[in-house]
């Protein structure tokens, strides 16, 4: 009789294993965007990055197994103002010659008042600091959309230091936002 119970228990475990919860892996589609909003002399401006990669593994029911890993080519920055476009890749701001890539990786997710927050580490200009991003995940058929947003303090990452550290001219806060169109892998 013990053999039958052991066999039944093993069979149940074998059947349950394929149902074990894992975060789903997604491929980021070209329609996705990664951008930021800042202010210069009191006027807002928008920018984006044209080259970046993201590895997304996410399931809102399995936050402990979820992960975001994003690398951004800082030289791919694009803004509409010609002077800002020329300045941002330079040594005073992103210094893309020395720091060509920014990197964000999650360290965990948490639920706050029914909303999900992704906590992680952002490395920008050789400085690594914690960053938290609000997450809005919406499944759609065999894919999903994923919107994330948060606010950074630019001087925490030495962006626009020296003569450009005056936050009355260039705002201290930079809002980052991404809209990812995802398909299941």
Could you give the domains of the chain? 22-184 (2.40.128.110)
How far from 183 is each of 24, 34, 50, 53, 111, CA to CA, in Å?
A: 10, 17, 20, 15, 24
Q: What is the pLDDT along the chain (185 residues), one digit of tens a residue?
A: 444 433 333 333 333 333 345 789 999 999 999 999 999 999 999 999 999 999 999 999 999 999 999 999 999 999 999 999 999 999 999 999 999 999 999 999 999 999 999 999 999 999 999 999 999 999 999 999 999 999 999 999 999 988 899 999 999 999 999 999 999 99
**CB burial class (10 A; 0-12, 13-18, 19+) of residue 62?**
middle
**In which residue are the tokens 């060509």 written?**
100
Check residue 11 and give left, alpha or beta (phi > 0: left; psi -120 to 50: alpha): alpha
Alpha carbons within 13 angstroms on the beta-carbon side of residue 119 total 9
Report whether 125 contacts 94 (CB < 8 A): yes
Reading the block at residue 71, the tokens are 């690398």
Give the 3-state secondary structure of 34-73: EEEEEEECCEEEEEEECCEEEEEEECCCCHHHCEEEEEEE
Chain centroid to CA 42: 27
Handedness of CA 50, 129, 69, 37 (dihedral sign): negative
Name the residue among 13, 14, 17, 54 with its Cα closest to residue 32: 54
Tell me, what's the pLDDT at 163? Answer: 86
Task: Give per-residue burial for 116-135: e unless 16+ CB within 10 Å, then b.
Answer: bbbebebbbbeeeeebebeb
């Amino acid at each position: 009789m013990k053999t039958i119970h052991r066999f039944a228990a093993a069979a149940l475990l074998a059947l349950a294993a394929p149902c074990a919860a894992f975060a789903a892996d997604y491929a980021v589609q070209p329609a996705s965007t990664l951008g930021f909003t800042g202010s210069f002399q009191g006027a807002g401006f928008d920018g984006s990055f044209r080259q970046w990669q993201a590895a997304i593994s996410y399931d809102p029911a399995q936050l402990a197994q979820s992960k975001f890993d994003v690398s951004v080519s800082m030289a791919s920055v694009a803004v509409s103002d010609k002077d800002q476009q020329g300045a941002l890749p330079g040594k005073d701001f992103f210094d893309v010659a020395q720091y060509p890539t920014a990197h964000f990786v999650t360290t965990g997710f948490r639920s706050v008042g029914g909303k999900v927050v992704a906590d992680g580490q952002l490395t920008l200009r050789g400085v690594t600091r914690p960053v938290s991003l609000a997450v809005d995940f919406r499944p759609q058929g065999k894919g999903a959309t994923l919107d994330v947003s948060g606010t950074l303090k630019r001087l925490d990452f030495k962006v626009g230091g020296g003569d450009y550290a005056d936050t009355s001219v260039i705002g201290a806060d930079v809002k980052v936002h991404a809209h990812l169109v995802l398909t299941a892998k």
